[in-house]
Structure 1
Amino acid sequence: MIHKIIQKLIDWWEVSESKSLKKELIFCGKSVVLDKRVKIAFPDKCVIEEFVYIGPDAVIHALGGVKIKRGAVIGPRLKVHSVNHTFRNATSIPYDETFDRREVVIGENVWLGSDVILLPGARIGEGCIIGAGSVVSGEVPPMSIAVGNPVKVIKQRDTEHYAKLKAEDRIYMKLKLSKEIKQVFD
């Protein structure tokens, strides 16, 4: 019995922490679901639009700026780095005390698999799917399916089908939160 009470208190505290984190963001759209173990350093430099899900153990370092656009679904253990130490023309080695800040953008309706790493300046175009374990350091064109380290585009999504679903506003998290989509393993 005491175990259940303690668990309820822990759950309540973790939900409170998630709500607090959302309030610290530059902007947080409606129906954003952050797993209770998401960590965001410099949340005042992070924008998360509506109907976004970020899975467990994500770590987002937003000092250089991070934008996560509408409908993005992000798997567990995402790592986002929007800054790096300055090493080119640095005043010391291996790097100096300054930072190279480059915004990271995750486009609309992007799906990131588990263990994806986004490096400073990464830009993932609308409708992309990035495979588990991939490392993104540059730009991924819209509607791409990309995997690997470094990430490489291997296919393109069906743009006609995507456009039809987008026109009908069939955003996964919007449908899931409205209970139109049910969890298969419930």
Structure 2
Amino acid sequence: MTDAHPADAPAHKLRLNRPQRLWRLLKASLDPRAWAHLIKMVNFYNYTHVAPLRQIRLGENPSISPTAAFSYPERIRIGARVRVGFRCVIWAGPGTGRVTLGDDVLLGPEVMITASGYRYNDGAPVTDQASDEADVVIGNDVWLGTRVTVLPGARIGDGAIIGAHSVVRGHIPAMAIAVGSPARVVSQRQIEGTGGGPR
């Protein structure tokens, strides 16, 4: 019995020899589209993460995910020991809106905090309308769960916890546990030895 001719072998069984593999790798490496994509990714990362971190007022020992993004960093203040999770976005306003995070704040994955939002009622396309800005202030020891959105003008008191997927607008008192869209207080955080309430 003779071996089957290579041309008769199924396509998935054919293997490239070493020179063919090297040639393919070289061609892929020299393809300008591959380099253009890489340059775009590096530039985007630099624009949204690396450069802004140089302008943000950072407290000591922050832990910031490399996938976090920031805009208008000169109006962002992040306190000591803050942890910013995977794919979080913190946007201060282009004019006056500031974002302030106290000490020991924990942001879960994909939290969005913005101090600016577009108007939508004057008949023009949304992108052509003016934006409304208001400061966002998040107190000390606050935990924002996965995909929480914090809107312009929000105030979150010390020790508060916001449940996953909640939308915060307005004021959340200290030590409150809030959930929903819009976030509503459903419970109070209890700290052993303090009788609950603010520390």
Same fold per superposition (TM over 0.5): yes
Deviations 1:36-66 (A, max 9, x none): 0000011111000111000010011111110
Cα distance in structure 2, aligned partners of 1:132 and 1:162? 26
- Number of residue pairs matched by the alignment: 149
Among 77, 88, 97, the residue aligned to 2:129:
97
1:61 aligns with 2:91: yes
**TM-score, reference length from structure 2:** 0.67
1:44 aligns with 2:74: yes
1:145 aligns with 2:177: yes
Contact 1:143 1:159 in 2 (8 A): no
Name the structure 2 match of 1:127: 159
Contact 2:109 2:145 in 1 (8 A): yes
Instruction: Summarize the Cα distance change of 1:120–1:161 in structure 2 as closer, same or farther, 3 Å threshold.
Output: farther
**TM-score, reference length from structure 1:** 0.71
Name the structure 2 match of 1:28: 58
SS at match of 1:21: helix
Shift of 1:21: 3.5
Cα distance in structure 2, aligned partners of 1:83 and 1:72? 21
Cα distance in structure 2, aligned partners of 1:40 and 1:162? 37
Shift of 1:106: 1.2
Name the structure 2 match of 1:111: 143
Instruction: Summarize the Cα distance change of 1:161–1:62 in structure 2 as closer, same or farther, 3 Å threshold.
Output: farther
Match for 1:102: what amino acid? Answer: A
Match for 2:99: what amino acid? Answer: V
- Gaps spanning 5+ residues in structure 2: where? 1-41
The percentage of aligned residue pairs carrying the same residue is 34
Larger Rg belongs to: 2
1:74 aligns with 2:107: yes
Cα distance in structure 2, aligned partners of 1:37 and 1:112? 17
- Gaps spanning 5+ residues in structure 1: where? 1-12, 168-186
SS at match of 1:24: coil
